[in-house]
Amino acid sequence: MQTALLLIVLLWPVAAALLLHFVRGSAARALAFGASLVELALAVYMTVAFQVNSQPQFEINYPWLASAGINFHIGVDGLSLLLVLLTAFLVPLILLASFRHDYENPSVFYALVLFMQTGLIGVFVAMDAFVFYFFWEVALIPIYFLAGVWGGERRVQVTLKFFIYTVVGSLLMLAGFVYLYYMTGANGAVRSSDLTAFYNLRLSAAEQSWVFLLVFSAFAVKMPIFPLHSWQPDTYEQSPTPATMLLSGIMLKMGIYGTMRWVLPVVPLGVSQWSWLVMILAVIGIIYGALIAIRQRDMKRLIAFSSLSHVGLMIAGMFSLTAVGLQGTAIQMLAHGVNVVGMFFISDIIERRTGTRQIPELGGLTRATPLLSVTFLVILLGTVALPLTNGFVGEFLLLMGVYQYNPWLGAVAGLTIIFGAVYLLRMFQRVMLGPDSSFSSVIRDLTGAELAVLVPLILMVFWIGLFPGTFLHISEPAVNKLLVLINR
């Protein structure tokens, strides 16, 4: 049963997506939501059965293109398990959040979300380079249609821009993987695209340098890292809210996870040659994203630039190549996923109630919406990294990692907490507490369905903040193994 469990977790969403072809309307929503709950239950069961150590578990390794040494090899360690859990936890909430919208062709819309879920989980559990690349592309295709068909007025040009960025990045990654694959066959050995074979490669410093540039480029686009971020604010703004939640809450982690799994331990000499540049760009992204966020009038764009700033800190912590930096990256991926999905959902609620996301047009909403005010404030404080909330744990570890790498960079990166408090609390003050607007007395408070989305997110804000050991304990052996590979 354990051998098949991961395969079921991987394929269940796409099986449900195929079933959606036979239902319409509200039945499609119910089927998609029910299937996502089953997926969550399977992921939780897999977590309970997981033995905390550094070895991959629930592995499946069958020949795919046997003559070429390519296998369908999947498995989970603590790092990938956390991201499978995050995906399984967020997708039902994202589906539930979408129920207030009447999307044309709902069965296709929800099928794409579930199809994307399989792609995301495949990325997190792949242990073969070409399997990883396959699921990477599988995860990208649905978001292209979700944004391009159900997005805003500028959806066509924005989606085209996103498509060009991601395709170019994917091709560079494929070129890097192909080179690594051929190098496994050096000295007459059998070629293999297995993750372990890549780890065992001994490439020269020059080879590792340009392989790093090729593979990291794809991940840098997806995170994104400054200055490759220009697709992000427009895509977040123009995509339907569920697609924005998927992009920011889960898909963004593909790049960070991919770097931890397929770059740092594979080409450590390349990392050592370029880490200074990545660190500088990450810190620039922290400051740039925060400063631009302060100037935003649109709530959705403000959250998008806020995300750029927070991701910059995750990248800097990761490239510190310290235990606390990598552990901070692991838990901050969870915290950021929870917080950014909550922030975008609240932005969507306010837009549906008032018809606008423009901050200057809002104000005084808290008078009629006590529940919305409280939930908004809790998730916002988690994003600001208030102690005892989920954001604090990750950002504290990340800053420790960056400080150990370079105290000056650590000091500059620490500005993300100050800037974050400025633009997020300012948004809350102007939207919820500012002078009364025309919506102050007529806006409705949260419904039961909306609370059903926000309450689990708030529980996670406090669970990660109060008991971070639950999650750090799972990822620690995998992180330590990565460090051994990086420093070999």
76 - beta bridge partners? 57
By the 8 A CB rule, do 342 and 93 touch? Answer: no
Q: Give the number of domains in the chain.
A: 1
Asked if 325 and 315 count as a contact pair (C-beta separation under 8 A), the reply is: no
- Residue 291 burial (CB < 10 Å; 0-12/13-18/19+)? middle
Instruction: pLDDT band for 38, please (50, 70, 90 cuts).
Output: very high
Q: For residue 223, name the pLDDT band (cuts at 50, 70, 90).
A: confident
Find the distance separating the first CA and the last CA of the chain, reported in whole Å: 36
Quote the CA–CA distance of 454 and 448 in Å, as a whole number: 10
Q: Which domain holds residue 339?
A: 267-487
| Closest C-alpha among 213, 206, 248 to residue 231 | 248
**Per-residue pLDDT reduced to its tens digit, 337-362:** 999 999 999 999 999 999 898 998 98
pLDDT at residue 85 in the model: 96
pLDDT digits (tens, 9 = 90+) for 271-290: 999 999 999 999 999 999 99
Query: Does residue 71 fall inside a structural domain?
Result: no
Q: Quick one: pLDDT at residue 363?
A: 84
Residue 116 belongs to a domain:
no
Q: Angle at Cα 337 formed by Cα 360 and Cα 427, nearest 5°?
A: 15
Decide if pLDDT at 34 tops 70.
yes
Q: Which two tokens stand for residue 98?
A: 């979408």
- Which of 272-281, 320-329, 362-371 is predicted least confidently? 362-371
352: in domain: yes
Kindly state the tokens that stand for 246: 């998927």
**What pLDDT score does 313 carry?**
92
- Poorest-pLDDT segment among 79-93, 181-195, 317-331: 181-195
The pLDDT of residue 2 = 65
pLDDT-based confidence at 400, cuts 50/70/90? very high
Q: Answer whether 390's CB lies under 8 Å from 397's CB.
A: no
| Helix, strand, coil fractions of the chain, as percent rounded to 5 | 75, 5, 20
Tens digits of residue pLDDT in 152-161? 777 778 888 8
State yes or no: pLDDT of 428 exceeds 70.
Answer: yes
- Whether residue 426 has pLDDT greater than 80: yes
- Residue-wise pLDDT for 200-222, tens only, equals 998 999 999 999 999 999 999 98
Determine the pLDDT at residue 276. 93
- Greater confidence, 160 or 13? 13
Domain-embedded: residue 105: no
DSSP 190: P
Averaged pLDDT of the chain? 91
Mean pLDDT of 466-486: 94
Q: 435 falls in which pLDDT band (50, 70, 90)?
A: confident
User: Would residue 411 count as lying in a domain?
Assistant: yes
Q: What are the contacts of 116-120 at 24+ separation with CB within 8 A?
A: 116/142, 116/143, 116/146, 116/246, 117/13, 117/36, 117/39, 117/87, 117/91, 118/10, 118/11, 118/13, 118/14, 118/17, 120/87, 120/250, 120/251, 120/254
Q: Over pLDDT 90: what percentage of the chain?
A: 65
CA atoms within 13 A of residue 379's CA, in its CB half-sphere = 25
**Closest by alpha carbon to 326, among 268, 221, 397?**
397
- Among 339, 465, 337, 340, which Cα is nearest to 397's? 465
Output 228 or 121, whichever has higher pLDDT.
121
CA angle 314, 316, 322 (to 5 degrees): 95
Please indicate, yes or no, if residue 91 is contained in any of the structural domains. no
Q: Does residue 90 sit within a domain?
A: no
Average confidence (pLDDT) over 2-25: 88
Q: What is the pLDDT of residue 26?
A: 79
For the record, the structure tokens of 359 come out as 């901050």
Asked whether residue 145 is assigned to any structural domain, the reply reads no
Mean pLDDT of 426-451: 88
Predicted TM-score (pTM) of the model is 0.94
